[in-house]
Copies of this chain bind each other. A is one copy, B any other.
Amino acid sequence: MTVVGEFDLIRDLLAKVNQPDGTGNDGQEGVWLGAGDDAAVLDTGRLVMSTDLTVEDVHFRRSWVTFAETGARAVTAAASDLAAMAATPVAVLISVAIAPLEARAVLSELGDGIKAALRELGAPLVGGDLSASPGPVFIDVTVVGAAEEPVTRSGAHPGDELWVTGVLGGSAGAVRAWWEGAEPSPDLRASFVQPKARIEEARWLADQVDVSAMIDLSDGLAGDARDLATASGVRIVLDPRLVPVHPDLDGEDARSLAMSGGEDYELCFISPPDVTGRRSVEFQERFGIELTRVGHVEDGMGVEILGEGDGLDGVSGGFDHFSSDRSC
């Protein structure tokens, strides 16, 4: 039986993730003191922070994805909340719990993915914790970003338009395939395994398109739109026929997956009439994904889904680990 030291594993992870500059990131902009002391110290102005949890057999199964993919995905999912605020990543903290006997192997793989995701974000790992787990692997990622003018969920006005980036439903389509014992298409699998945090896209939109409210699509379009409506004190009217469905989805429920499937991590934002449409070609050329108008904002409250009842039952609930039976 091989037992390994917690401190060694943390050091290994930090060394791997923070290569080539070694154990700290003290020189990186905004980071006054990197990992290795009791706490990291950041030196910057207005900070944006969020945390996102990934739990084995709830968010992923090891028969579906590698731990490297899981590590990258955990970071990206958390960073997506920075994108939703139009913030720039500054630093990341990661806590991991793993069964001791597999800790070294799992952490090494996780580290590969975490490192790749942090490199993509341009943000250092400045802290973390490691614990034994009695069973499942548990990854909690806290992201810190900077934004002098963060975009919140609460600025939508009646008359505004509702837009989304990219195509929707791919991640949920992959999970459905796995649940059915099938293998998803490579593109559907990539939607689940390698989502993008739309950091650059969000900053461009905030700079160029007068975005009044924004959210990232982690819980599903219908549910996330409801959160926008609630925060802004408005009514959002969603037209399912306009929703950009992932091209590899087919069958009767393709549109339902696009409306309610979670974890696509695309942006859903609200902007004044006719502003975004005039820039959508430029956006597509710059970022390689489309902008699609999927609804509009009215006086009132909640979310209205046009044609609800026509095969879209239940789409307004959003993805919820606690209220559904698809808890993995």
Contact = CB atoms under 8 A, between A and B. Distances in A.
Contact of A93 (B41, B51, B84, B134): B51
Nearest to A36: B231
A134 B55 contact: yes
Contacts of A87: 39
A132 to B, nearest CB: 4
Interface residues of A, number: 77
A84 B37 CA distance: 9
Given A42-B46, A138-B97, A144-B49, A33 B150 contact: yes
A39 B140 contact: no
21 contacts: A4-B322, A5-B322, A6-B320, A33-B150, A37-B85, A37-B154, A38-B84, A38-B216, A41-B85, A49-B126, A51-B129, A52-B95, A53-B95, A59-B131, A132-B327, A133-B136, A133-B138, A134-B136, A135-B136, A136-B136, A138-B138
Interface of A: 3-7, 9, 32-33, 36-59, 81-82, 84-85, 87, 91, 93-97, 100, 103, 126-136, 138, 140, 142-145, 147, 150, 152-154, 214-216, 231, 318, 320-323, 327
